């Protein structure tokens, strides 16, 4: 009888880690790490070349298995996989698929258990087994019919090799390992019994159970004592080491064959990953297998990879066609919406067209304002398009249908564009925001990237339609056929993304974050951006002139100090003056080889008493105010509304904080005279007041809450000066004798600790040596011991999970927390310490915004929420509503969440943003 070919089982997870540590970091053109994927693909190719009968790759499905239920500390001390390895795990599965190799995994079990179960099944049917792995745990399966090949040592291991290594037959390895324990898996074993002692005991007693039944017969006193004290540990260890041979098999043996090889799939995958060097090996392998390579398919390098071809992208040019499409769309529960315009500024953009998609692959584009080729008249609109006047009445019922979910990717932009034309859209979902809630800043959230990641689809690029540089055109000059494919594709893949991403919110327990915080905030931010804020251009022009005069005077003074004129805006010339001509102490060299003149270096020189660096810093500050605010703000005033309309981004920070741009209204200085002058240019409408509600020391209050610090909690409950209290405790000074200097130091420590400040950083802030700063920090931790334990616990959580969480459950990802560089790792740990506090503060103010706007809507008030500046909200309120709405808005902000300490929102009122006075309700 002929012996059947062996079933070859490959320990895929072992290959991945081996490839990761063996190769230098590699990245795809989009930044995705692929070093381990490359190594894995190379190893898989080698197996294909040598194992002609085919093989199956078995993976671990995850870190948690049934062994963790038996023993929670199983593998507990192992660090999580490196951040740059995590995105490579799914790609290794894709390698197998591309090569036509079956890969298997099953949740709750390790790859070793699945290998053991398939081994048992194969032996039942008389099929020999060859296991490819270097894992010693798999040696318990070795027999005359089961061999193990260690690819690293290039060695086949059979029963004799096991006997030589462990001193026992393969059947007894479990018992030996149970006594020895396994530090790498955190399996306890029996303390004091090593490999030789364990082998001797099992040789004499045959099994662990027999040994434990006859401990009194053990001759060595130390072994006897340890066995008596650790009987349960020994039994537990055996349970953990023994492989589970009855795992439900995901596929029958008959299905474990190499699939028919698709040349196009292999070549496409390798080119997509950037593995050009593997292609010749693949070609040689396929030729050896008498598989011809389709030359048309091997020329894919410049062509996009399409996951699912579009079923129907329709260009709608008639009312009838639009009505038919909308009639069909109403049969579905949701529809994706995207607008095409002439500008990124939603309130200045002209609407060019609208695309819609109600089921994957079925999308339409409605052109509204496309023009013929660029002409001097610039008004030659294509006649065959529908007009906006005809389209709006048809779209309005669909957009305002509360039973139909409207989905967009960065839908806030589309809401603003359509609102300009009298179209309001509700209810809404945003796939960009959902992606952000799920994955934070560890991945880009643009549609091109996500389409590639989730669907292996390369989208049409905007620049390929409009060009770049001098030849760039606006979208209204893109030909209709190309515009249709681009716009419809955007709507199509937005809908597909929604199908993939929305279910993840529930699976990953982030639905509450999205549904109660970020989704309701989208419409609120859209309203705030649409409303804008009134700015006095005359005041800004006057201030710009004043700043220019101040800069001229400073420039003259600086030239006198330097001994000659030079260009103050040139770092190279300044470097020559400071370090070559004046001979000041040099700092670090910049990229061009000159000594750096960055702010930190100049501040250090100024602190040493040098006048020129001090004056340069003043000049730079004025130049920044002029270029960033006075001059730029004037150009950003909307000519129709006479207001500036900032844009709030929800997906740019790691903690959930909002960021403001075009213009950035969150960074206007508040503590300088010139900064206040800029704020004075922001005005209310006649008969209105600004009401500012600003959370007081919110992150310190959150620290007291999460770290449970009794003295801090008590101080906040009693409304004491927290910085004076800290100064008194840290510097052992009676509270009544704490002067402003000590309070300043305590304030720097209080806020510095929140950001994980180092002794060097605190020393720089206070102008003292790092060793003195370290003594302050040590004294602080002794004063508030719970803070240090909170910090250590938070860092450990970040190292284990790769993220930390806010009080509301938002995940703040720390991508480099396990980086190989100590400096990068230390910076990431400081991020991890602060992220739960800053993230919770961000969530709190989002909740406050939502509740505040709800109140204004319920009251049908004409008051508006205009700005969010980190921990501050700015409202524009009619004078006759201030006394009634003010206290209620303050109450809302202070009652958003119940903490161990009170939240306090300080109120101030004024007719311009620079002259706000404290107000008590």
Q: Is domain 312-508 given the CATH code 3.40.190.10 in the classification?
A: no
Helices 673-680/537-562 angle, 10° precision: 160
Q: Which of 565, 533, 550 is nearest to 624 (CA)?
A: 550
Tokens of 255: 């299905």
593 Rama class: left (phi>0) / alpha (psi -120 to 50) / beta: left
As a whole number of angstroms, the distance between CA 303 and CA 676 comes to 55
What pLDDT, on the 0 to 100 scale, is given for residue 27? 83
For the chain, which residues score pLDDT lower than 70? 1-3, 52, 257-261, 289-311, 373-381, 586-594
Beta-carbon count within 10 A of 193 CB: 24
Q: Angle 35-50/279-288 helices, nearest 10 degrees?
A: 20
Whole-number pLDDT of residue 711: 86
Other residues' Cβ atoms within 10 Å of the Cβ of residue 748: 18
Name the 3-class secondary structure at 586.
coil
Q: Please tell me whether residue 533 adopts helix, strand or coil conformation.
A: strand
Distance separating alpha carbons of residues 559 and 86, to the nearest angstrom: 55
Domain residue ranges in the chain: 7-254, 260-299, 312-508, 533-624, 699-837
Q: Are 644 and 532 in contact (CB under 8 A)?
A: yes
Into which CATH architecture does domain 7-254 fall? Answer: 3-Layer(aba) Sandwich (3.40)
Token duo for residue 867 = 């700005």
Query: Could you tell me which of 452, 471, 468 has the C-alpha nearest to residue 460?
Result: 452
CB atoms within 10 A of CB 741: 10
Contact 135, 14 (CB under 8 A): yes
Look at residue 293 in the predicted model and tell me its pLDDT.
31
Strands 533-535 and 643-644: antiparallel
Q: Is residue 529 a contact partner of residue 623, using CB atoms and an 8 Å limit?
A: no
Contact 441, 653 (CB under 8 A): yes
| Residue 584, H or E segment | none
Pull the structure tokens for residue 795: 């860092």
Domain 699-837: homologous superfamily in CATH: 5' to 3' exonuclease, C-terminal subdomain (1.10.150.20)
Helix (H) or strand (E) holding 205: helix 195-205
Integer angstrom CA distances of residue 93 from 87, 131, 132, 269: 11, 19, 17, 12
Report, in angstroms and rounded to the nearest whole number, the Rg of the chain calculated over CA atoms: 34
CA distances from 712 to 703, 719, 723 (A): 9, 11, 10
**Residue-by-residue DSSP string for 688-702:** EEEEEEEESSHHHHH
Fold of 533-624: Taq DNA Polymerase; Chain T, domain 4 (1.20.1060)
């Amino acid at each position: 009888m002929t012996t059947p070919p062996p079933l070859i089982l490959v320990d895929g997870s072992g290959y991945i880690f081996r490839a990761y540590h063996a190769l230098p970091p590699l990245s795809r053109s989009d930044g995705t790490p692929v070093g381990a994927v490359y190594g894995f693909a190379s190893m898989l190719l080698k197996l294909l070349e040598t194992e002609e009968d085919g093989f199956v790759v078995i993976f671990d499905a995850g870190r948690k298995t049934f062994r963790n239920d038996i023993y929670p500390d199983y593998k507990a001390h192992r660090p999580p996989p490196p951040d740059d390895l995590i995105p490579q795990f799914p790609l290794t599965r894709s390698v197998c698929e591309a090569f036509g190799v079956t890969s298997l995994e099953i949740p709750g079990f390790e790859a070793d258990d699945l290998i053991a179960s398939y081994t048992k099944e194969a032996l039942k049917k008389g099929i020999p087994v060859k296991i490819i792995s270097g894992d010693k745990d798999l040696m318990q399966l070795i027999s005359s019919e089961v061999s193990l090949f260690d690819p690293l040592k290039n060695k086949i291991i059979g029963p004799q090799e096991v006997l030589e290594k462990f001193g026992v037959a393969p059947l007894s390895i479990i018992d030996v390992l149970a006594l020895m324990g396994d530090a790498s898996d955190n399996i306890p074993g029996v303390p004091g019994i090593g490999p030789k002692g364990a082998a001797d005991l099992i040789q004499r007693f045959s099994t662990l159970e027999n040994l434990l039944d006859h401990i009194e017969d053990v001759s060595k006193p130390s072994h006897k004592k340890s066995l008596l004290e650790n009987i349960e540990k020994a039994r537990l260890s055996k349970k953990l080491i023994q492989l589970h041979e009855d795992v439900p098999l995901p596929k029958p043996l008959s299905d474990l064959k190499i699939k028919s090889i698709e040349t196009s799939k292999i070549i496409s995958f390798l080119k997509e990953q950037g593995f050009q060097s593997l292609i010749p090996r693949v070609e040689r392998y396929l030729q050896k297998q008498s598989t011809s390579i389709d030359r048309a398919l091997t020329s894919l390098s410049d062509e996009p990879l399409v996951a699912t071809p579009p079923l129907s992208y329709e260009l709608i040019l008639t009312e009838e066609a639009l009505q038919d499409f909308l009639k069909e769309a109403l049969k579905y529960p949701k529809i994706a919406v995207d607008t095409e315009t002439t500008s990124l500024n939603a309130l200045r953009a002209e609407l060019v067209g609208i695309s819609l998609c109600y089921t994957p692959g079925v999308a339409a584009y409605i052109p509204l304002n496309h023009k013929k080729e660029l002409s001097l008249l610039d008004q030659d609109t294509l006649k065959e398009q529908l007009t906006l006047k005809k389209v709006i009445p048809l779209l309005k019922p669909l957009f305002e249908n509360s039973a139909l979910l409207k989905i967009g990717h960065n839908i806030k932009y589309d809401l603003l564009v359509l609102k300009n034309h009298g179209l309001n859209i509700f209810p809404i979902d945003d796939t960009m925001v959902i992606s952000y809630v799920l994955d934070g800043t560890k991945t880009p959230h643009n549609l091109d990237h996500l389409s590639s990641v989730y669907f292996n689809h390369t989208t049409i690029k905007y620049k390929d339609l409009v060009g770049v540089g001098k030849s760039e055109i606006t979208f209204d000059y893109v030909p209709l056929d190309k515009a249709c494919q681009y716009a419809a594709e955007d709507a199509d893949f937005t809908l597909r993304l929604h199908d993939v991403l929305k279910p993840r919110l529930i699976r990953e327990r982030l639905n509450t974050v999205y549904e109660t915080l970020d989704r309701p905030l989208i419409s609120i931010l859209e309203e705030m951006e649409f409303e804008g804020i009134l700015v006095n251009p005359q005041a800004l022009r006057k201030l710009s002139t004043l700043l220019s005069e101040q800069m001229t005077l400073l420039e003259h003074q600086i030239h006198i100090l330097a001994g000659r004129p030079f260009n103050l805006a040139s770092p190279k010339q300044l470097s020559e003056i400071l370090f070559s001509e004046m001979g000041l102490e040099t700092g670090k060299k910049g990229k061009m080889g000159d000594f750096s003149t960055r702010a930190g270096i100049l501040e250090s020189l100024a602190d040493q008493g040098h006048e020129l660096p001090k004056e340069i810093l003043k000049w730079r500050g004025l130049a920044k105010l002029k270029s960033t605010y006075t001059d730029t703000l004037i150009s950003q005033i909307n000519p129709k509304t006479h207001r500036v309309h900032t844009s709030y981004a929800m997906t740019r920070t790691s903690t959930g904080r909002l960021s403001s741009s075009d213009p950035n209204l969150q960074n206007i200085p508040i503590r300088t005279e010139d900064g206040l002058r800029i704020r004075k240019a922001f005005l209310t409408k006649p008969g209105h007041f600004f009401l500012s509600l600003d959370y007081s020391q919110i992150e310190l209050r959150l620290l007291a809450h999460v770290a449970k610090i009794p003295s801090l909690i008590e101080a906040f409950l009693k409304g004491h000066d927290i910085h004076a209290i800290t100064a008194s405790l840290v510097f052992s000074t009676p509270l009544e004798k704490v002067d402003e200097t000590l309070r300043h130091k305590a304030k720097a420590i209080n806020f510095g600790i929140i950001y994980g400040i180092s002794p060097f950083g605190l020393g720089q802030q206070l102008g003292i040596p790092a060793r003195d700063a370290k003594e302050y920090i040590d004294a602080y931790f002794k004063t508030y011991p719970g803070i240090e334990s909170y910090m250590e616990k938070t860092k450990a959580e970040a190292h284990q999970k790769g993220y930390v969480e806010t009080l509301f459950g938002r995940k703040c990802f720390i991508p480099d927390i396990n980086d190989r560089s100590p400096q990068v790792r230390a910076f990431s740990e400081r991020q991890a310490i602060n992220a739960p506090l800053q993230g919770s503060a961000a969530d709190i103010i989002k909740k406050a915004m939502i509740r505040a706007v709800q109140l204004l809507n319920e009251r049908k008030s004409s008051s508006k929420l205009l700005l969010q500046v980190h921990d501050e909200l700015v409202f524009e309120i009619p004078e006759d509503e201030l006394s009634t709405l003010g206290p209620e808005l303050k109450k809302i902000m202070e009652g958003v969440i119940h903490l161990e300490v009170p939240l306090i929102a300080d109120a101030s009122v004024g007719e311009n943003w620079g002259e706000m006075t404290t107000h008590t309700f």
